Amino acid sequence: MPNRTVFFISDGTGITAETFGNAILNQFETTVRRVRLPFLDTADKAHQAVRQINHAADLEGNRPLVFTTVVDMEVLSVFRNECKGVLLDMFGTFIAPLEHELGIKSNHRVGRFSDASQSQAYNDRIEAINFSLAHDDGQSHKDLQGSDVILVGVSRSGKTPTSLYLAMQYGLKASNYPLIPEDFERRQLPPALVPHRKKIFGLTIAPERLSQIRNERRPNSRYAQLENCRMEVSEAEAMMRREGIRWLSTTTKSIEEIATTILQEIRPERLEY
Amino acid sequence: MPNRTVFFISDGTGITAETFGNAILNQFETTVRRVRLPFLDTADKAHQAVRQINHAADLEGNRPLVFTTVVDMEVLSVFRNECKGVLLDMFGTFIAPLEHELGIKSNHRVGRFSDASQSQAYNDRIEAINFSLAHDDGQSHKDLQGSDVILVGVSRSGKTPTSLYLAMQYGLKASNYPLIPEDFERRQLPPALVPHRKKIFGLTIAPERLSQIRNERRPNSRYAQLENCRMEVSEAEAMMRREGIRWLSTTTKSIEEIATTILQEIRPERLEY
């Protein structure tokens, strides 16, 4: 049982506080108890949170770590003045030097979204998610030209989660299209894909890992057999090489790493936005 | 055309650097050009990035802002010594005080994922995404008891993107189930849902906004008519009230805000993990 508690404190959702804190905690070989306290947008709620933090401090006999992205000065001062934890204050630390550099004052606005439905970028993101869902697993050839990127690869190579991540995180219309044994026999790209070659990105995977993933879904099937996985992967890689399609292996990579690599390769302008 | 460039610098994907930087930039009413430079894991790549930053500095006549989550000390020192930008250094700033507080050294490990496929949490996340896809829009009653949360609401109230976000971000098995006119006529929850009442969370939406969203998908349909939307929303809210289901209005909320609220209500233990 960890005897140190970490709090993520925010006047918004706390997602940034959590990303910030977890990135830093990941640098330490230590186990902690994590508590997220979102939507602390009044001094009253801050006082309540402080009581919870100070209670943990007394109970555990050491100072809780408190990662905060609170921007409201009244709320923040409650933590600064009364909290027994170690305050790791993202905004307090970086806003002041930036105000100096930019020569303007910050607006202390809470959260990324004021009214999400009014934001074009937000609506584009929702539209991209719907698009990616409708174009999952080769479901629809319609509007394939509306795709920003088309992922190809054998079944269970990681196309679906990557497409959804690209849509959700970057508002990209990401379709995906399976490469199946019929394509390998014909030794040609699926005909629906041919006109969109420039948008295609391939995912491959080590046959051993593929067999393991497929076995979880359809145990002891031919589909999951190592021999069959070896054949499909080798045919798919040969096809991508022949067709000049860029590709990467997802075997040891997270969705985030795959998505970042695809962005670099397919739409570098998305890295400069 | 903005005349200040912001760089997000990382030896990993740069996603944390971008979250960190954008949260802070959002506090300023200013337009900037954004460039993300991921995977800078050698001094060579760092030198190349520094040239790009210094070129922007010379061209624009002011100091680029450089948000960094680089952990490799050799890479970081290239930026510290040679870069003309304003270095906003998340790890450099917060690691040292934490080493002091925790009494241990940080490991300077790059990125959140070493080999994603070996991580149980990562595999759970992928499984949750697959589960949520299979249980989108009431597609499958099977394993509904395997859901962590079941979202209900009228068509286009925000259930699908929220389910996928809960799965992708928190590894929650989130199903969703539409409330349709037949349910309102019967004045009862869809029978498949009744055994799972404790996991149900409702989403509602202002009829005007719903009509606007539906009109984009099926212009001039009865489905999209304001009168029909008013009726469906009012019936759905009456049903949720009658059945004692917790619910919120998604009208002006982002997926992130909706998901955070659901976590607080349905599975508070997820906030303490």
Per-residue model confidence as pLDDT tens digits over B139-181:
877 778 889 999 999 999 999 999 999 999 989 999 999 999 9
Contact B107, B73 (CB under 8 A): no
SS (H, E, C) chain A: CCCCEEEEECCCCCHHHHHHHHHHHCCCCCCCEEEEECCCCCHHHHHHHHHHHHHHHHHHCCCCEEEECCCCHHHHHHHHHHCCCEEEEHHHHHHHHHHHHHCCCCCCCCCCCCCHHHCHHHHHHHHHHHHHHHCHHHCCCCCHHHCCEEEEECCCCCHHHHHHHHHHHHCCCEEEEECCHHHHHHCCCCHHHHHHHHHEEEEECCHHHHHHHHHHHCCCCCCCCHHHHHHHHHHHHHHHHHHCCEEEECCCCCHHHHHHHHHHHHCHHHHEC
pLDDT for A185: 94
Which residues from B are below 8 Å from A215, CB to CB? Answer: none
Neighboring chain A residues of B256 at a CB cutoff of 8 Å? 13, 15, 112-113
Spatial neighbors of A192 by CB under 8 A, at least 6 apart, are A138, A141, A144, A177
C-beta neighbour count of B26 within 10 angstroms: 17
pLDDT for res B266: 77
Which residues, listed in sequence order, are joined to residue B33 by a DSSP beta bridge? B5
Residue B272 has pLDDT above 70, yes or no: no
Q: How many angstroms separate the CA atoms of B162 and B262, rounded?
A: 10
Block residue for tokens 């971000």? B169
Tell me what the mean pLDDT of segment A20-29 comes to: 91
Mean pLDDT score, A100-117: 75
Q: Do B13 and A257 touch (CB under 8 A)?
A: yes
Residue B129 forms contact with A (CB below 8 Å): yes
Say whether B13 and A111 touch across the interface (CB within 8 A).
no
Residue B273's pLDDT band, with cuts at 50, 70 and 90, is: very low
Amino acid identity of residue A50, one-letter, is V
Question: How large a percentage of chain B has pLDDT more than 70?
Answer: 94
Over 70: is that where the pLDDT of A156 sits? Answer: yes
Chain B positions in Cβ-Cβ contact with residue A101 (cut-off 8 Å)? 63, 65, 86
| CB nearest to A28's CB, from B33, B98, B252 | B98
Q: What is the mean pLDDT of chain A?
A: 91
Q: Look at A98-112, A253-267, B161-175, B226-240 and tell me which has the smallest mean pLDDT.
A: A98-112
Residue B32: count of CB within 10 angstroms of its CB: 16
Tell me if B64 sits within 8 A of B5, measured CB to CB.
Answer: yes
Number of other residues whose CB lies within 10 A of the CB of residue B219: 8
B211 part of contact set with chain A, CB < 8 Å: no
pLDDT score recorded for residue A111: 56
Give tens-digit pLDDT for B77-136. 999 999 999 999 999 999 989 999 999 999 877 655 556 677 888 888 999 999 999 998
pLDDT confidence bin for A270, thresholds 50/70/90 = low
Nearest Cα residue in chain A from B170: A15
Res. A145: pLDDT tops 90: no
Question: In the predicted model, is pLDDT for residue A142 greater than 80?
Answer: no
Tell me which chain A residues have a C-beta less than 8 angstroms from the C-beta of B26: 109, 112
Burial A120-150 (b: 16+ CB within 10 A, else e): eebeebbebbbbbbebbebeeeeebeebbbb
Strand order in the sheet with B174-178: B174-178, B149-153, B200-204, B246-249
Q: What is the pLDDT of residues A207-251, one digit of tens each?
A: 999 999 999 989 999 999 999 999 999 999 999 999 999 999 999
- pLDDT given at position A120: 84
Contact B21, B87 (CB under 8 A): no
Helix axes B43-60, B73-82, angle to 10 degrees: 20
How far is Cα B241 from Cα A116, in angstroms, rounded to an integer?
A: 26
pLDDT at residue A273 above 70? no
Chain centroid offset of residue A127 CA: 18
